[in-house]
Amino acid sequence: MKKFWPLLGVVLIMISGYFTFNYSKGACAYRYTYAYNHKQVDKLYSYYDSGGAIKQFDKAEVIDFLKEETRKKDKIKARELNMVRDKKTKKCFVEFPYKLENINVLAPVGSDIYVNNKRVVKGVRARGVEIKNLLPGNHVVTIEYYNNMQQPFVKQINIPGENLVESPYPTHDILVSAPPGTWVTIGHTKKQSKNEEIVFNNMLAGQYDLQLFMEDQKIQVFSQKTQIDDGNTSLNLEKVGGNQKIKDELQNFFSEFNKDYRQGIIDKNTDFLHKYTTTNINENIISDFKMWYLDNKEIVAASSLMEVRDIHPVSGNSIKVSVLETVYLTNKEKDSQDNDKDQEYRVVIEWDYTMLRSDSTWQIVNREILQSIVAHKDEEGNWIKY
């Protein structure tokens, strides 16, 4: 029993020393100053409050920074430090003693910005970009331009003494006219046309991909390369033609429409039209269909073709489509001697359709006749225009 008490005393002293070493602010400050003054930068990093400013940096970044700091300043004193206690563990740590700095980088839209070879901004969207929470000291800022239009601009700065980096190349503001509700993309920048005009600010001179989208950016209807420079700072997309993909999609629509159209002529039935049209046009299109192909006619055979021609968007979800409709009809009639005969006709109509895109499907909103030609075949087989 006599041997137990001295051993217990040693254990208590060890426990007391452990708690003093890890939980006493004074002891923690002493450890930190000792490591700093002896250039033990790895240990310095472990003494910092991990929940503070240091958490946003890689360990290697901080250690490199500390190497430079301990080189510039030989000695520090414990009273220069602020200490914090972890709420959960109750251990003491050193509050990161260096003030983080912000810098502003002025770069053209679409640029990528790097600080010390680490990308911090992908695709600049505006003129000024604030880069926050940089360690004091020397930093290399690099601006890489959209599509490599210029050689990267590199500048070394020392903060907090310098806090501005500006690209040396001139930029342009681009005015784009586009159908309301459509989306326009120049390079990496996409904007919606709300009042038929959009301004793209801070664009570097050069060649960009220009695209026009409908239906909340889902349907690309136009694309081409465009040059931006002193002589070309405005673009008009009000009457651009649709690309091949949207033309193919609309041709598929009118091919299906044409099949039912032809069958409707033969069956003398207009019910199919409701499938392809919005409510407000049903009466008009039904009336047109009856006038052209049903009223006072006895059609015994019909063939037809609908060919999509010009296309251009008129809003974010509607488009104008020029369609050439060609219909061949065989109508049962009486000749001059009151005998039955099969008379052949050819009807050619160029329509201007307004199409609405809704829930991934197209519907006819309106249509107007641009021109029409009706001809009949004579006994020699010639087409005679009325």
* CA distances, 103 to each of 138, 165, 307 (Å): 12, 8, 59
Question: What is the DSSP secondary structure assignment for residue 229, as one 8-state letter?
Answer: B
Mean pLDDT of 80-98: 87
| Coil/strand/helix, residue 26 | helix
Of 166, 146, 162, 163, nearest in space to 154 by CA: 166
3-state secondary structure of 344: strand
pLDDT in tens, 306-344: 999 999 999 999 999 999 999 999 999 988 788 889 999
What's phi and psi for 168, nearest 5 deg? Answer: -85, -5
In this predicted structure, the answer to whether residue 79 has a pLDDT above a threshold of 70 is: yes
pLDDT given for residue 280 in this prediction: 77
| Residue tagged 């990093």 (tokens) | 45
Task: Say whether 245-385 and 101-166 share the same fold.
Answer: no
Give the pLDDT band of residue 126 (cuts 50, 70, 90): confident
Question: Count of CB atoms within 10 A of residue 109's CB?
Answer: 21
pLDDT digit string, tens, across residues 264-305: 999 999 999 999 998 877 788 899 999 999 999 999 999 999
Nearest CA among 253, 254, 267, 243 for reference residue 325: 254
Task: Evaluate if residue 107 carries a pLDDT over 90.
Answer: yes
Other C-beta atoms lying within 10 Å of the C-beta of residue 50:
11
pLDDT for 9 equals: 45
CATH code of the region 175-238: 2.60.40.1120
Q: Which fold has domain 245-385?
A: Nuclear Transport Factor 2; Chain: A, (3.10.450)
- Res. 23 pLDDT band, cuts 50 70 90: low
146: which 2 tokens? 């959209």
CATH class of the 101-166 domain in this structure: mainly beta
Spatial separation of the C-alpha atoms in residues 336 and 291, rounded to whole Å: 24
Give the mean model confidence (pLDDT) for residues 97-109. 93
- Which pLDDT does position 15 carry in this prediction? 38
What is the Cα–Cα distance from 63 to 310, expressed in whole angstroms?
65
Mean of pLDDT values over 219-230? 92
Beta carbons within 10 angstroms of residue 161's beta carbon:
8
Give long-range contacts, CB 8 A cutoff, 24+ apart: 283-286. Answer: 285/364, 285/367
pLDDT surpassing 70 at residue 94: yes
Instruction: Give the span between the Cα atoms of 140 and 154, in whole angstroms.
Output: 7
Domain boundaries, the chain: 17-94, 101-166, 175-238, 245-385
- Our measurement of the distance from residue 323's CA atom to the centroid of its chain's CA atoms, rounded to an integer in Å, reads 32
